[in-house]
Structure 1
Amino acid sequence: MMQASKQNRRRIVAALRTTNHRMHIESQVNQMHMTGKTLIVLGAVFTVGLGTASTVIATTQNAVVTKNGETQKLYMLTSDDTSDILKSAGVRAGHGDLVLRSTNAQGSIEVNVRTAYPVDVLADGSTKQVTAHFGDTVRDVLQEAGVALGPVDTVNVPLDQPVTENTKLRICRNHIVTVKADGVSTQVVAATDTPAQQAVQRAGVTLSKEDELAEGTDQTITVNRVTYKDEVLSETIPFETVTEEDDGLLVGESQVKAAGTNGSKKVVRRTKFVNGKAASTSVVSTEVVKNAVDRVVVKGTKERPQEAEESRSAESSSASSQQSANGLSYSRVLTGKCTAYTGGGVTATGVSAAVGRVAVDPNEIPYGTRLYIASPDGSYVYGYAVAADTGGFVYSSSTMADLYMDTQAECENFGRRTMNIYILD
């Protein structure tokens, strides 16, 4: 019996030595493979038979299992397989979940499970979906998505905030805008698609409804202050000359049926000022105050007898003979070029310049001479007039008379024409 006891003790010692050797090997393997966060699945548990009774000695270990920040400890585990450890902890790792395993300083196994979930990243007009894990921050996700942020770009979630399931990240591309207003430049951060008016308001600039914005190619917005000023003016409406035919008058004869009068209108002109400087002027309204009355000239259509025509020609050559035209008695008729002038003032005879008071060469037509002036064909009738002024043409041209008119437009319309000047009796 004593001999048998010694033999059993030797078998137990040998078994223990073998077991210790294998545990030493396991320790070395753990040290080699557990240094990084790597999923390691170990082999089966070693068992050693002791004596004829086949006594089993199993290795036991402790573990710390963490899932999404919640930790639990397990003791006296008979298997160090990661799947078995998670099963013992009642923790399930889904598809895409991150499982990290390591060994702490006390020799316990640490298994960290981080749940995977998709995160949408909207940037530069497109959406990219990346897989994030529990604990990942917005910064981590953007790096995973390959999205780089500019110096003034913004994200709808803080960069250091952990993402959660169904998180949607939106990147806003921004740039610096310079707003120029009232001599001051202000820089603001605005999104690429920010309206100019919103950027200006962000700069603290108040806009009126008339102000205008000018956007430059260098990310500048200039505020142009716009004001308007209205001016009320009175303008002349020139009368027009209308010709009527009368078979009671001979061809070449004409009469002024109505002298004609100018009208007037009230015109409102609006001037636009940009930053205090006049930029443009436009007419905003026109109101007729007085209508113009047409000058009506009656033109003869009756054929002149041949004898009378010859007699008229003969009489025209005699300055002293009595003649008549358009029912008027005149001593002679002068035919030559006439011009027109306006502008008011006082004539050489001391009276005010007015329609019907014409400038002549007093050596040819004395002051005070009554006149009747019309074109030879009767198409233009100036009408009755009196020699009241000296024309500036006396020493420089062959002009016969300068006819006074109310407006510059009438003068320009008249120009320089051949006219008959009848010296009335």
Structure 2
Amino acid sequence: MRSRQIRNRRKRLILAIVLAVCVTSGLICAAAVSAATGSASALVIDGDKTYRVDRGQTEQMLAQAWKQGMEPIEPEDETERVENSDTVTVRRGVDLYVLEGGQREKFLAHKGETVEEALQDNGLGLKAEDQVTPSRDLVISASLTVEIKRLCRVSVAASGETKELELFGGTVESALNEAQVKLGEGDGCNFDLETPLEDGMEIVVSQALRVRITADGKTKVYQVAAATVASALEKCGISVGKEDRLNVPWDEELKDGMRIILQRVKVEEEKEKEEIDYETKYISTRDLPEGETKRLTAGLKGSKESAYRAVYVDGRLESRELLSEKVTAEPIKEVIMRGTGYTTTAPQLEFEDDGSGYQGGESSSGASDTGSRPALSVNAQGGTFTDAWGETVTYTKAMTGTCTAYCIPGGTTSVGLEAVRGVIAVDPKIIPYGTRMYVASPDGQIVYGYGVAGDTGGACLDGDIIADLCYDTLEECSIIGRREMVLFLLP
């Protein structure tokens, strides 16, 4: 018996030696093959599957594994390789659904990581006391749903009493139920009842108060739970504009029976076009009998644009403040000649004979009473001249050309002025309407005097004349006829 046991031991020893020799030979052959091919063995691990590949770049190793039947790498998948290691690990992406506070959200997780690691990767850190289902240590192998119930320490204040609670998840409503607080009709809470609980949340229940609110022409009584006047208006659906006014401070504590009056304030910038009255200037002349007057230049009203800041309270104008004004057209002075001479039996015109044969008044042989006047010095670019009444006048431009005269008793001009002496018809493209002028012959003997561009001259538009001078009578028109005159344009 003993010799048989010895023989069996010898057989097992011989077999072990043979196996060792075979394994050693295999390893030597594998090393020789690797040395001959110039590559080393490496692994690609994809879940429960392992692929043996040649060592190289990660992309090359994955390509070899793919040729061996590995599933392609998708965008949600990730690969991991420790530096200088021979192993590449593939982690396949899966859907991770998280339920927290009554809300469900979708995230990305990877097979092989734990639930806690997946939550951490998605920014959902856990505290030690938080409850997680399934376990936070579970290794993810497929898509799954995780429910988180966080420990929330909250306070509930109602009816002058405050309760401290510790709850795992839930909403504000569940906290009120836990604190045995019931909301009465009109009572309010500083959070919506469906708001998920958060650690440190302070929940305040407000009892409804009776307030009277006047706004937009109506007065109503409300039962509202609010801490301040502003909050009460908001809960009653009454918007308040930036300029609106309240009879009580905006942040005043709301009280039972309070009366709130809201006035709507509207601020507008209004623009208006307004007329500017013209002034009247009187000039004394001996050419008219004392006590008589004659208009030399028709007045023309100016215009201006004014901007106002208007404040309306509940639709009624409260104040109006002038912000700015801009003159768009200067008024033209009215010039009236006032007689200082003696009364004669035959009134004389204020014009002197220019040698055409016409004599002032009814006399056919006598000369004008006013005497000779000096010739005018003309500078087309502007300067000064002395008018028929001895005043030195500044002008901006002088134009010399043919003028005619016209008369429309009781008529009006193209711009709406009364057609009287002092109105001058022009081409407005050359001489703008409203331009003040002094008109006389170059030698100073025929004086039309002061006037304003206030009519359109047909012959002026054709270029035949530079101005058509309006008179009150045809007799006065005959003095001018058609002759060369100088137009001094005044500033």
User: TM-score w.r.t. structure 2 length?
Assistant: 0.25
Flag the structure with more relative contact order, 1 or 2, with Cα contacts below 8 A and sequence separation at least 6: 1
Which structure: larger Rg?
A: 1
User: TM-score w.r.t. structure 1 length?
Assistant: 0.28
